[in-house]
Every structure is written in structure tokens, then in C-alpha cells.
Structure 1
């Protein structure tokens, strides 16, 4: 029996298509392991995962990193919030007076004085804004994952998208690893790198 390929994937990433292609082409079993953004590299670094699908930025020291796709960022707020009246998009200028219930990964923050919020994960942040308190900015896929009827999300047009990438240790650059990279890059079974 072939050795299993263990791949972590960060909240919001969608590895299903690649997993299907892998299973159609390769004998090695593939195991997908959910990881949080805060710990997305831990398994790769400690060797419990062969690779990880991560949200950049990450420390790339000793790692290969291949960009897979970008995703837009959205502001999530209560359905009763003024944000709900906006069309499909807002910009950071529309959010300058808001309370961010969780710091934004880019470091952007509204000009209004911010409260000291306790640390919270994405689900907790969306529960907080659903109660009518502040907004949270998240990648669209994460906002969709935790979607609720009592919140709305609007694309934040002037924030750079977040990037999803595939990472693995430099010393683990073998044929199986490269075969999975090929699957994520859309190579067919007959294509070589």
C-alpha cells in the first residue's frame, strides 16, 4: 500500500477539486486535515503534514510556496447595520467610523478609537457582529463558511485580496509532492512539469 499524503487546509480553502483529481490519478491515499489560520504551518514544520494549503502571508523560511488563487475580502455586519444598505461593495473610507471586533490581517484599522476586544476566531467574530456590535473583515470564503441569516457581507473594494498558497518543506521536494503541485496547477495526467 502506498504511503498517505497528508495535506492541511486553512479555514475557507477548498481542496475538494484537487483531492478528486488526485484520487483519479494517483495510488497514494490523500488525507485532508483542517487547520486554523493561526496554526496553518505547524503540521508542515513538525512533519505531521506533508503540505498545507495556507493563507498568506506566512514565514517562507525553509518552505516552498506556490500561489494558488486570490480571494476578495468582505466586511461582515449585522443585517440592521448601515452596511446592509450598501450595494455589493464598500471601501475602507465607508468603514472609518466602525469598530473592528477583530484586527484585520493587513493591519488596516478604522480611524475611530477601537475598543479592546478579546481574541476571537472567525465564527465568534461573526456572532459578535450579528448581535449588532461592530464589523469584521474576512476573506469571502470564510464569511460564506460562517454565513448566517442575521448578517450581511459586502466586498471591500480597496483592500488587497488574500492569497491562498500551497507550502511544503524544501527538503520534501519529491515526485509525490510535485505530482500534487501539478494537480493544483491544473496539469493533466499526461503533462510533465
Structure 2
């Protein structure tokens, strides 16, 4: 059920690696009178913000608590392995989990990948607190790290590179919000991320449909005469046309020309 928006602005949180810029630009065009308050939060802070009501919606990584939150998956990211540029795997176009069997693979506490089937490679002595901390250890040539591609780009360093992983878990980015707080503005943002036009959106940014104007009536055009049918006043409908006899025509009304001219000559 859609409720009226209580807050004067729309509060949106987003996790690292997500870039909401294209959606916030559309928001500003459609609802210039409603400020959109953006907050970057850690992966583990996005869901509590929605539970506690400090955010109206969030661009998060799945899974989330579906008993409390509604969520619309937006896209799935490619998983990559972050390695030093001089690492032997840098020569490969893509990397398999078996390729990491002898590598130390870091598992940071804010990891967004589902490793329920088991992390590949050899575990580190301890888990880094954040992905940023794990990147520093990779740069020190201590081990490697598996992350969504957007996070590898976010933590880019000149001495590091990354390669796509085959058959590794992937991270899904979704729009989530409290089920009991599906407001008009939430509906508006749902329409934006789904690519709806302003007129097809369910939110307050929808424009009223214009009443189509009646097409102008065309002026009556004179009917064209049909071939083979006599027209009134032109010898048709039983009326005979009065006119002068045609010269040289035989029959009545015509002037017959005599041959030889004058009286017949008498024989001598």
C-alpha cells in the first residue's frame, strides 16, 4: 500500500562499488522540489539503516532480510581476483578456482560474496577488517583477493591488476526498502531505476495524460464522374444535345456533296 511521504527529502544509502549518479540525475529532473539525500555506507551498515528508519531506500548487495525488506535485483557483477601486476596469473585472460589452490586468499569481514561452498586457496592467518585492508595486503604480495569488479576498480592501484574469475560466486546489487514504508517517493525511485518514463511512473512525478484533440474535419470534395455513365447536362439522362450538323456527314441533317458539279452534259 502506498503511503504519503513524511520526510521532506528522500534519503538513499548506497554501498561501496555502487554508482547511483545516473539515477540521481533523473530524480533531480523529475522532482526538483524534493532533495535527494545520498549517504555512502559500509556493506554491513546499509540494512540496519533501513530497519531503523534512517534511510527510505538503499542500493545494497543481496541477500537482505526479505521478511522485513522489499528488494528489486538490478544487476549482477562479475567476480574478479585482485593480484600484483607481476603475479604469474597476470598473464591469464581468466582465472579458475583451481588456479588459486596454492594461493593465500583473503576473506575480509565486509566481504559481499557467498562462500558457503568454501573459500578457494589457503586461508590467511586472520581476516582483514575491510576490503581496503585486504587490498593493502595484496599490494604487499602476501596473498590475493576475490571481489566484485566494481570494488576492484574502486580500490585501483598502479601496482595491482585483476582478472575475471570462472565459476566463482557473484554479487547482486538491488534496491531495497522497508515493506511497511512503500511511499510515493519510493515508488518514484523504483520507476527511475527500472527505466520508466515520467508519464509511465507510478509516483508523484508522473505527468497527467493530455486529452487527444479531435482531428479537423475535411472539406467535402466534389465527386468525380465515373467512366461510362452519362452526366446531367452533357447529353446524358435521355436529353439530346442540340448542335449543328457536321459537315460532310451523311444522312439527315447533313449536307451531301454532289460529284461532277452543274448540269449533266449532253452527248454530242
Using the size of structure 1 for normalisation, the TM-score is 0.92
Residue 28 of structure 1 corresponds to 34
- Say whether 1:183 aligns with 2:192: yes
- Asked if the contact 1:8/1:40 (under 8 Å) is kept, the reply is yes
Indicate the larger mover: 89-98 or 5-14.
89-98
The 2-side partners of 1:120 and 1:83 are apart by 26
1:111 is displaced (CA, Å) by 4.8
1:12 is displaced (CA, Å) by 0.3
Which residue, out of 95, 100, 119, partners 1:109? 119
User: Which ranges of structure 2 fall in alignment gaps of 5 or more residues?
Assistant: 1-6, 203-268
Tell me the SS of whatever aligns to 1:159. Answer: coil
The 2-side partners of 1:160 and 1:100 are apart by 14
Which residue, out of 70, 78, 85, partners 1:79? 85
Tell me the SS of whatever aligns to 1:100. Answer: strand
Indicate the larger mover: 135-144 or 158-167.
158-167
Residue 52 of structure 2 corresponds to 46
1:86 is displaced (CA, Å) by 1.3
Residue 170 of structure 1 corresponds to 179
1:160 is displaced (CA, Å) by 3.6
Indicate the larger mover: 31-40 or 12-21.
31-40
Query: Aligned pairs, how many?
Result: 190
1:44 is displaced (CA, Å) by 0.7
Residue 142 of structure 1 corresponds to 151
Higher Cα radius of gyration = 2
- Asked if the contact 1:75/1:156 (under 8 Å) is kept, the reply is yes
Residue 123 of structure 1 corresponds to 132
Residue 250 of structure 2 corresponds to none
- Say whether 1:99 aligns with 2:104: yes
- Asked if the contact 1:73/1:155 (under 8 Å) is kept, the reply is yes
1:34–1:157 distance in 2 versus 1, CA, 3 Å: same
The 2-side partners of 1:132 and 1:139 are apart by 20
- Asked if the contact 1:76/1:136 (under 8 Å) is kept, the reply is yes
Residue 37 of structure 1 corresponds to 43
Higher relative contact order (CA closer than 8 Å, sequence separation 6+): 1
1:53 is displaced (CA, Å) by 0.5
Using the size of structure 2 for normalisation, the TM-score is 0.68
Tell me the SS of whatever aligns to 2:189. Answer: helix
Tell me the SS of whatever aligns to 2:120. Answer: coil
The 1-side partners of 2:87 and 2:191 are apart by 44
